Structures are given as C-alpha cells and as structure tokens.
Amino acid sequence: METVGEGGMHMHTVMVVEDEAPIADIVRFALEREGYQVVVATDGAAALDAFRTQPPDLVLLDVMLPEVDGFTVCREMRAASNVPIIMLTAREAEVDKVLGLELGADDYVTKPFSIRELLARVRANLRRADLFDSRANEEARERISVHDLVIDFNNYTVTKRGQPVPLTHREFELLSYMASRPGVVFTREQLLVQVWGSMYEGDERTVDVTIRRLREKCEDDPSNPSYVLTKRGVGYFLRRPS
Ligand code: CA
C-alpha cells in the first residue's frame, strides 16, 4: 500500500459488506464523494471472494449478514491479511463489540451511525495503516528482545523462539508502544489515547480486551503472563529485557 500524499496519489479502495441496499448505497455515495474507490458486497461469501481477487485497503463489515455472518467473515479476512476492518454493530450490543475485537477487528461503529463519524473512522484507520506501512519501510529500525519474544520494528513482526506471532495492527501497536519503554507502567487511559486515539476516551475495556488477546498470542500461560504484565490498580507494562 502506498502512502497518500496531499495530492492523493494513491486511491484507497474500501470494501463495504452490507446486505441492506439503502445503507450500502448511502455509505458508497459518501465514500465516493471523499475520493475512495468502493466495492460493495451484499453477503459474506461474495465479500470473501472479492477480498481474495481484489484486496481492499479497508473493510467496513456489517455483523448481521445472511448465511455467512460478519464475525466469520472477519475471522477469515484476518487470517489472510492485516487490512483494517471496521465492524458495523447494532447499538448497545456490547457483546458484538467485544467479539469483533476478539476476532481481530480494528474498530467498530454502532448503528445507527452518522456518516460523518463513519468517515472519520475510515480516515483514522487508513491513516494508521499507511503510517504502519511507511514505518515498516524505514531502514535501520531496531529490535527489542524480551526473553524469548523479539519485537522487530524493521519489518513489524514479532517472533517467539523464532516462531512468528501473528498480530493485528492494533495489537502490534499496543505491544510496540509498551516496548518503547519497557518496565514503565502505562494507565489504560494513556494506552487508549496513544494507541487508539482520543475518540475512544472512556472505553477502557477495549484496552483490556486487546491485552488479553496479546497475552493469548504471546504468553506460554496467558493467565500467568511473563511478558505483558499488570500493575494492579494502575495499568499494564512490558517486562524489562534482562
Ligand atoms: Ca445487515
């Protein structure tokens, strides 16, 4: 993926997965007006097909879809790619938000949403992904080893005893943010603002969910972590390299 300059050299492609035609039309119109290329899929199977043949830069994924549901689509896309995925969930459906994040979604927007909010989320997620890619291209970044865990900033990978640990953008950013100052405890509020941005203010459970996912992927025993540690009553920190 290229980085977008002020001149907009690279047009981002957004895939909209939504079975309700009126909503899909409104979203498509709004995105096209902002200069995005839009691909609409009206069911999960079509979305996965299009995803393979024409990989988008971002996916807007409705949870409630006929046949293959949005969570399944999310899991399959995430297994194949680290493209930003924003889930569209029913209002107040907390379980949807948490499940989406567990399955590797980067973000969620609750229905009914305002187009303005949706566009802001799309922009923020694309910006983060572009930044991530451009940073990944930088030369001479260092790596940090925390015992068996190696965080490589040069190619944005994490390995554990030589085996790759597959992380989403957000998980990698959370881990690498804590790795920027190993041993220093960060509060949930700090992590939320630094890794997710101020739009997430007050949603500190998002940090806990992502920490849990990180531990499931990085730790030998996620319930007794040895890398991503909790400072009770304060927040989280990465164990200092020995
Ligand atoms: Ca739907």
Q: Ligand 1: distance of its center to the CA of 118 in Å?
A: 16
Q: Ligand 1: distance of its center to the CA of 33 in Å?
A: 23
- Tell me whether residue 185 is exposed, middle or buried, using C-beta atoms within 10 angstroms of its C-beta: 0 to 12, 13 to 18, 19 or more: middle
Within 10 angstroms of residue 120's Cβ, the number of other Cβ atoms is 14
Q: Ligand 1: distance of its center to the CA of 41 in Å?
A: 11
Q: pLDDT, tens digit, for every residue of 63-82?
A: 889 889 898 999 999 888 88
Q: Ligand 1: distance of its center to the CA of 202 in Å?
A: 28
Tokens 């549901």 sit at which residue? 69
For the chain, the helix, strand and coil percentages under 3-state DSSP, each to the nearest 5:
45, 20, 35
Q: Ligand 1: distance of its center to the CA of 42 in Å?
A: 9
- Tell me whether residue 90 is exposed, middle or buried, using C-beta atoms within 10 angstroms of its C-beta: 0 to 12, 13 to 18, 19 or more: middle
Q: Determine which helix (DSSP H) or strand (DSSP E) holds 16, and give its type and residue range.
A: strand 13-17
Q: pLDDT, tens digit, for every residue of 1-30?
A: 444 444 444 689 999 999 999 999 999 999
Rounded Cα–Cα distance for residues 103 and 218 (Å): 16
- The whole-number pLDDT of residue 95 equals 62
Helices first, then strands: H and E counts in the chain: 8, 12
Rounded Cα–Cα distance for residues 181 and 174 (Å): 12
Q: pLDDT, tens digit, for every residue of 91-115?
A: 666 666 667 677 778 888 888 889 9
